[in-house]
Amino acid sequence: MILLVTSSDRASEFAAALRESTGEEIAVAESLARAAAILRAEGCLAVVLDQHILETEPHEAETTLEHLGPAILVQVNLAISGMERLVREVRAAMQRRWREEVGARQLAIDRLRSELSGTVTALLLSSGLALEASGLPEAAVEKLLLVHKLVKKLRRQLENASVAEEAEQAIGP
């Protein structure tokens, strides 16, 4: 949901343009107090804040901004901005957020993959060396072979996940 915070008479027009261009549900708050209440009750993808509201309700601004959470804040002056500019600014902000999220997710995945790769390599080496030991009971050899096989499967899964992830990133939003 996108929250549009404005006291403009054209609020419904702005909301309709945002709904049409983003496909998101749009909630309209005519004051910062109402916006804070909506933000406390529901999560928002973005908050479009009319500059006029900030100027007319400066004491409420800090309280409202504290409740943003992960929402994207887009400040615009709806008195001078046209519909196209509003839509362009909101879409650009959403695209930036998407790129930031993809980058953060990729960084986390890369770190996890690196850690797992080291552990998988250590497991393969350890189980391989253990299998070379002489005098192991047959049951122990069977269990070590199973562990070795499972670790190899895990390595293949990690490699396949890496390839699938790269293909997904190439496609984009």
In a domain, 92, yes or no: no
Q: How confident is the model at residue 45 (pLDDT cuts 50, 70, 90)?
A: very high
How many other C-beta atoms can be found within 10 angstroms of the C-beta atom of residue 47? 25
Structure token pair of residue 5: 């915070």
pLDDT over 70 at 173, yes or no? no
In a domain, 90, yes or no: no
Q: How many domains does the chain have?
A: 2
pLDDT over 80 at 20, yes or no? yes
> In the listed set 33, 50, 81, which residue is the last one of a domain according to the structure?
81
In a domain, 20, yes or no: yes
Helices (H), 3-57: 11-22, 32-41, 51-56
Residue 158 Cα distances to 28, 103, 108, 115, 167, angstroms:
45, 19, 14, 11, 14
What's the pLDDT score for residue 55? Answer: 87
Mean pLDDT of all residues in 89-116 = 90
pLDDT over 90 at 4, yes or no? yes
Are 10 and 36 contacting, i.e. CB atoms less than 8 angstroms apart?
A: no
> In the listed set 81, 112, 132, which residue is the last one of a domain according to the structure?
81
What's the pLDDT score for residue 112? Answer: 87
Structure token pair of residue 4: 């549009």
Which segments of 88-171 are extended strands (E)?
A: none
* Domain, as residue range, for 12: 2-81
Mean pLDDT of all residues in 9-37 = 93
Helix-helix angle 32-41:58-66, to 10 degrees:
10
In a domain, 95, yes or no: no
In a domain, 41, yes or no: yes
Q: pTM higher than 0.85, yes or no?
A: no
Mean pLDDT of all residues in 31-39 = 92
